Amino acid sequence: MNEQGYLILETGETFEGYLIGNKKGCTGEVVFNTSMTGYQEMMTDPSYAGQILTFCYPLIGNYGINLFDNESKKPQLAGVIIGDLCEKPSHYLAINSLSNQLEQAGIAGLTGVDTRALVKCIRKHGTIKGIVSTSLSPQTDFHYSNPFWVKEVATKEAVHYSNSGPHVVLLDYGYKKSILDALVHEGCEVTVVPYHYTYEQVHALKPDAVIFSNGPGDPMELKSYFSEIKKISQHYPALGICLGHQLLALAYGAKTEKLAYGHRGGNHPVKELLTGKVQMTSQNHSYVVTDSSIDLNEFIVTYRNVNDRTIEGLQHKKYRIQSVQFHPEAHPGPSDTAHIFTEFLGQLSPVGSVNYAVT
């Protein structure tokens, strides 16, 4: 028998549905993603830690859960909100249903919700806290404090992946498996290390390059590591992705700010300023680098979001540092910007002339 449940927002609105997964409910920041596919990748993306994810596409679960599309070992989010849940998936690779995966992982969910109305509510108020509950009067209030999510999802020890190409150290703030897969596909030897590794620890691994990964939460929570991030990026070719992009900017004196309801989806248009070419990108973030805080004597802006003109990429004028706010590995989403990995790794040969974009 379906058990009725509720999503209660801190702004007072409530949405009815039926509980799936962990029936005890959850609390978290309520966000939405506009992608039509990729629910398995989204649920296992560590960047969603602590968040209740609303799927804009109405039918979710129709191709089930497979063995290949997880972006981490298990679902990382706090909960999910679904319009129409398919309990009998139809796909030859499916080994589980979405609701079973949630239940096994202890993640709460709510289906049968008017997700269109919910998304309009989030767009009106901005990102807001919510509670999934069996009652309209839950015991939990909205004044909870979040843990340090990066620490919760990042690796606890270094993990090495052998290969024949250049050695890349991947600083893990909550990396997606697809980033590792993209590097391995390019022939890289990869060592994934915890987010708190110092320059000395990275140096001891003798990398050819360093990548600063995506991850959850406010980048300012990592303020105590900015000096090490700066030192690492001054000594090795560095690429920042999503949170990693923000951390590199902050390490060089820039600032970040929170968007009203973030960029989450697989069809965000981004303009490459050097060529004028627009590429479609996969995005998942709440924070952006503040435009006025960039020192244009040090950095040039390489990409901008077509919709709201926010900064989507940076490149340092002296050091071999580049960063992107979007996900070049996608998953889910288009592969328009997968070339960024190839171009970054191309820097590992002797440095030639570099053409910089004009903002």
Task: Find out whether 268 and 280 touch, Cβ atoms under 8 Å.
Answer: yes
Sequence-ordered list of residues with C-beta below 8 angstroms from that of 125, at least 6 positions apart, any chain: 9, 11
Q: Token match 């209740």: residue?
A: 52
Task: Find out whether 168 and 207 touch, Cβ atoms under 8 Å.
Answer: yes
Residues 175-208 as b or e (16 or more Cβ within 10 Å = b):
bbbbbbebbbebebbbbbbbbbbebeebeeeebb
Annotated catalytic residue 160: no
Sequence-ordered list of residues with C-beta below 8 angstroms from that of 276, at least 6 positions apart, any chain: none
Determine whether the annotation assigns residue 243 to a binding site.
Answer: yes
Determine whether the annotation assigns residue 217 to a binding site.
Answer: yes
Token pair for residue 57? Answer: 């596409």
Strands (E), the chain: 4-9, 14-21, 26-33, 51-55, 59-60, 79-81, 84-85, 108-111, 128-133, 159-161, 167-172, 189-194, 209-212, 238-241, 256-272, 278-289, 299-305, 311-316, 321-324
The pairing of strands 26-33 and 14-21 is: unpaired
Determine whether the annotation assigns residue 133 to a binding site.
Answer: no
Determine whether the annotation assigns residue 79 to a binding site.
Answer: no
Q: Which of 29, 41, 242, 263 is catalytic?
A: 242
Give the whole-angstrom CA distance, residue 219 versus residue 290.
13
The type of residue at 295 is D
Determine whether the annotation assigns residue 109 to a binding site.
Answer: no
Annotated catalytic residue 327: yes
Give the whole-angstrom CA distance, residue 341 versus residue 176.
15
Annotated catalytic residue 329: yes
Q: Token match 């190409």: residue?
A: 165
CA contacts within 13 A on the Cβ side of 329: 24
Determine whether the annotation assigns residue 215 to a binding site.
Answer: yes
Peptide bond into 207 cis (omega under 30): no
Q: Which of 263, 268, 316, 327 is catalytic?
A: 327
Q: Which of 41, 189, 312, 329 is catalytic?
A: 329
- Could you list the residues known to form a binding site, using ranges: 47, 215, 217, 243, 246, 284, 287
Catalytic residues: 242, 327, 329
- Could you list the residues known to form a binding site for L-glutamine, using ranges: 47, 215, 217, 243, 246, 284, 287
